[in-house]
Structure 1
Amino acid sequence: MGCCESSSDNGLSTSYNLNASSLLTPDETILFKQILNGIPLHCQQPIINLPRRQFLGIYRYHMIASYHFRRMEFQLAILYQFKAISGLQALLLEHKDHFIFIEMYSTLATCLSVTDAVSAAIEGHQMALDMLLKHTPTDYQAISSQYYGLATCYLGGQAWGQGIQHLRKGIETARLSNELNQQDIQMMEITLHLWTAKLMNGVLMSMDDVLAPTRSQNQQNMESQITPETNADNIICGTSSINQTEVEHLPDKQTELLANDEIPKDVVQNLES
């Protein structure tokens, strides 16, 4: 995910060495620095303060989720993304809306939308949007992307008014960016015109506010997407442990962390409804 305030490695080594970096292997050290470099400088300290090995052990679930997402194995991506989110929230008790969760919730929302869990997908996109507005309010492209994600979810759930409203916000936000992506804007404008015309012509029935459950309800909705079939697939597909075939699809710097690493058999017990 792009960030208008992404950090560089300059000045990182001092604060990094304060927290037992010697306990990490060279590859782990490289990976940890890569993760930090994807986080705005003003958001790095809570991550720097975490136990390194424990953090990387949990973060690997996000990497595995990304692997399954690339393979369009969305139920498994949901499963592992939840493991990453719940694990990091337990570590970041005072920073549960930390920047690091933005990509996780965004990917999770996309997977939930694809699997027709529209209400839960809306909550995921909304959480990612709220975190972007808090941490990087001038990252207009990323913010516009979340508005568009929300719009497609609302339209998919037949909440036409809310969908059109979020499309307009997405277009307005995208136009604020110094790096305008005209194709993206045109796509949103065409979508907006299409749905507005349908609504004006009476083709669609307005169903505003039909998709607005509470956050706790949405959390249950998201968790419910981890089905028994998903857990069974996790075993059948060999993803209950990280094998070499899976590792070959991951970035080189992540290989050392993932090879032959056993994933707990009690799959996300705290996330099951």
Structure 2
Amino acid sequence: MGCCESSTSDHDSNQSLNSSNTRTTSSQFTTVEILERITFQQLLLYLPNHCQKEIINLPQNKAINALRHHIKAQRHFLQDEYHLSILDELKAIDEFQTLLPNHQTHFVFVQFYDQMISNLIFFGLIQTALGMCQLVLNILLRDTPTDYDAIYKNYLALSQIYRNRKEWRKAILCATKAIETKRLCHITDQDSIRLLENQIDSLKWKMSIDTRERSDKSSIDFSPQEIIEVCTYNPEHELFAFDLSELERKPEKVTESLVTDEMLKEIAGLLLKDLIDERHYTGDSKCRVTIAIAFKLAQMNTSSLSPAMIEAALTILIDRVNDPDTYQDYLTIAMRMSPFNIWYSDEHGIRIFRYQPKPE
């Protein structure tokens, strides 16, 4: 990707240097640290030549620390732990943005965003994935305009996202761009081009017949008692066993001061997961509701954290989400990527957490 060919002598020299460095490194670092440094070198090789300088000039330890979150995100993704993958990838992006304050759209972010897009699509966060996919395309067109294969794949991904959103005209445009780019590739795949041409015909047909208007259903307000019944899964029928005094416990502001960063990270990841979970979907409305004890039973049943601490952490997270002028940390950004607006209210002394889909 934009890299120049090296002479044989240079190649041999580099191999000798790398071998020497490896022997020196192996005596100084653990196996994990060696692998991380190898990954960092691979990251440099991934970058076009003209984009390497900014990364080479970074403090290597800080760059490796930031890259470590990307490595963890990839591992979480392979283990189907998508919510944790999002959090670690956001942390990697946040730390590299801190290291590169004047290069916020550096090519190094492309592979981080690619990983994020996969996670976001899995969670149905299509709008955020769309914006990130467009950003990746802009970076590719700017830094590697002749990497036709990567650009083709990005146009194809954009077309599929627009198709899922039923934005037929934009889907057709991106599919057309994908075909144009595919024809510039060194090896032209005629089967892929024919498939895309058929998809464009299908999109045009759908655009011509899709005149139905979407009707937005208004959310239904539930009484506190109805909310409690939904959230607690009818404890009188012993579907869950817990202290019924939780239905009368009032939140205390002082508890929030006891919440640690680790608690916030854990609960933020579970809240992301819970926002996609259908178990709190209330009837025909689009409003989801929960209380701390229900969240604990559903997401943290084996945790030693009390419902009061979980409630305090959820409160902190939601307060930050709804205060964009003050909080821009990676956890809060992750919460804002959710397809739901989230808020809470105290009704009859009980803190009720509500989720409602954001308007498209």
In 2: Cα distance, 1:55 partner to 1:234 partner: 34
5+ unaligned residues in a row in structure 1: which ranges? 208-224, 238-266
Aligned partner letter, 2:76: H
CA RMSD of aligned residues (A): 3.7
- Residue 43 of structure 1 is matched in structure 2 by 51
List per-residue Cα deviations over 1:149-200 (Å, max 9, x = no partner): 1111111111111111111111111111113234433332232221122223
CA contact (8 A) 2:175 2:200 kept: yes
CA offset at residue 116 of structure 1? 1.6
**Per-residue deviation, residues 221-256 of structure 1 (Å, max 9, x unmatched):** xxxx9662449999899xxxxxxxxxxxxxxxxxxx
Match of 1:228 in 2: 271
Quickly say closer, same or farther: Cα 1:189–1:69, change in 2 above 3 A: farther
Asked whether the 8 Å contact 2:158–2:174 carries over to 1, the reply is yes
Question: In structure 2, do the counterparts of structure 1 residues 60 and 190 end up closer, same or farther at CA, with 3 Å as the change threshold?
Answer: farther
- The secondary structure found in structure 2 opposite 1:44 is helix
- Report the residue type matching 2:74 in the other structure: S
Asked if 1 retains the 8 angstrom alpha-carbon contact of 2:155 and 2:174, the reply is yes
Query: Which of 1 and 2 has greater Rg?
Result: 2
1:152-171 to 2 correspondences below 5 Å: 152-171=160-179
CA distance in 2, matches of 1:187, 1:59: 38
Code of the residue aligned with 1:79 in structure 2: it is L
Structure 2 length normalisation: TM-score? 0.53
Indicate how the Cα distance of structure 1 residues 28 and 227 shifts in structure 2: closer, same or farther if over 3 A, else same. closer
Give the structure-1-normalised TM-score: 0.68
- Looking at secondary structure, tell me which structure has more strand per residue: 2
1:114 to 119, 122, 138: 122
User: How far off its partner does 1:72 sit?
Assistant: 3.6
Contact 2:66 2:96 (8 Å CA) reproduced: yes
The change in CA–CA distance for 1:89 and 1:227 in structure 2 (over 3 A counts) is farther
Task: Give the letter for the 1:73 counterpart.
Answer: E
The letter for the 1-side match of 2:330 is: V
1:136 aligns with 2:134: no
Q: 2: CA distance between counterparts of 1:7 and 1:64?
A: 32
Residue 82 (structure 1) shift: 0.9
| Cα distance in 2, alignment partners of residues 82 and 236 from structure 1 | 27
The C-alpha deviation readout for 1:107-157, integer Å capped at 9, x for no partner, is 212321222211111101001001101110000110111111111111111
2:40 alignment counterpart:
32
- Match 1:147 to one of 155, 165, 186: 155
Partner of residue 132, structure 2: 124
Q: Mind listing any 5+ residue stretches in structure 2 that lack a counterpart? A: 215-267, 275-295, 303-328, 337-360
| 1:77 partnered with 2:85 | yes
Change (3 A) 1:155 1:179: same
